[in-house]
Amino acid sequence: MNDTFEIVNLHARIEEREILRGVALTIRKGEVHAIMGPNGSGKSTLANTIMGNPKYEVTGGQILLKGENIVGMSPDERARKGLFLAFQYPCEVPGVRTANFLKLACNARAGKELDTMDFYDKLQEKMKILDIEEKFVRRYLNEGFSGGEKKRNEILQMMMLEPEFAVLDETDSGLDIDALKIVCEGVNKLRGPDIGILIITHYERMLRYIIPDYIHILVDGCLVKSGGPELAAHLEQHGYDWITKDK
């Protein structure tokens, strides 16, 4: 119970449109799952709903984080309980320095004021892994960052916050091949018995670098097929048509 993240018959909508129609999924710590699906299948809605974006309304079902239903909790509460979302489009916050933001976020996650020196030591170590320059964290949060820098920043945050369950929403989009490799290496370093990871992606290319334990296919707000990593290669060859036709 304490090492699972469970989505139970989840229904969610944005405005009046129902997007998720009964998603069910269980992730244990140590596992990496991937959800793939065509455009408009509800991938981003799922990511946002898991994190508690107030724009999305849960109309049924549960999201159980270590056995506790987090539906109705604010995003910050979820984050402090160990959930993390790497955004598809990280937003810019002018005037807020990345390092200051990270320090506050880490304090919030830890529930106490962290030692500044310890924090910076850890930050530098993680920046090295992600091949991030020193001055990067002195810049304003995501402001003027390239697509690749924004995504690297998301993984940096994930490394710093050490979540128990993390959702990566289209982290590969907008990355060139070198940046993709670095980001994936970062995720692979995090991978381990203390974290469960859910990768949401349209393309299989990210899954060449992070081999998931399970792949699920999302179509029209439902998970219609699950399998092992071989499913990705199959999708690469045949596209999504064969599944949507099956339905």
Q: Which residues bind another protein (CB under 8 A)?
A: 51-55, 74-76, 78-80, 84-85, 87, 90-91, 93-96, 101, 104-105, 108-109, 140-141, 157, 161
Closest contact distance (angstroms) between CB of 78 and another protein is 8
Shortest separation between residue 111's beta carbon and another protein, angstroms: 9
Q: Which tokens in the block code for residue 132? A: 């991030």
Identity of the residue, 83 or 215, whose beta carbon is nearer to another protein in the bound complex: 83
DSSP letter for 74, please.
-
* Minimum CB distance to another protein smaller for 95 or for 230: 95
User: What's the rounded Cα separation, in Å, for the pair 236 and 45?
Assistant: 23
Nearer to another protein, 136 or 240 (CB): 136
- 129 CB contacts (<8 Å, ≥6 apart)? 159, 185, 186, 189
Choice between 146 and 226, CB closer to another protein: 146
Q: Which amino acid is at 166?
A: A
The dihedrals phi and psi of 150, each to the nearest 5 degrees, come to -60, -45
Nearer to another protein, 84 or 214 (CB): 84
Asked if 81 and 68 count as a contact pair (C-beta separation under 8 A), the reply is: yes
Q: Name residue 161's beta-bridge partners.
A: none
Task: Output the smallest distance, CB 197 to another protein, in A.
Answer: 16
d(CA 221, CA 114): 41
Shortest approach of another protein to residue 230 CB, angstroms? 33
User: What minimum distance in Å lies between the beta carbon of 158 and another protein?
Assistant: 10
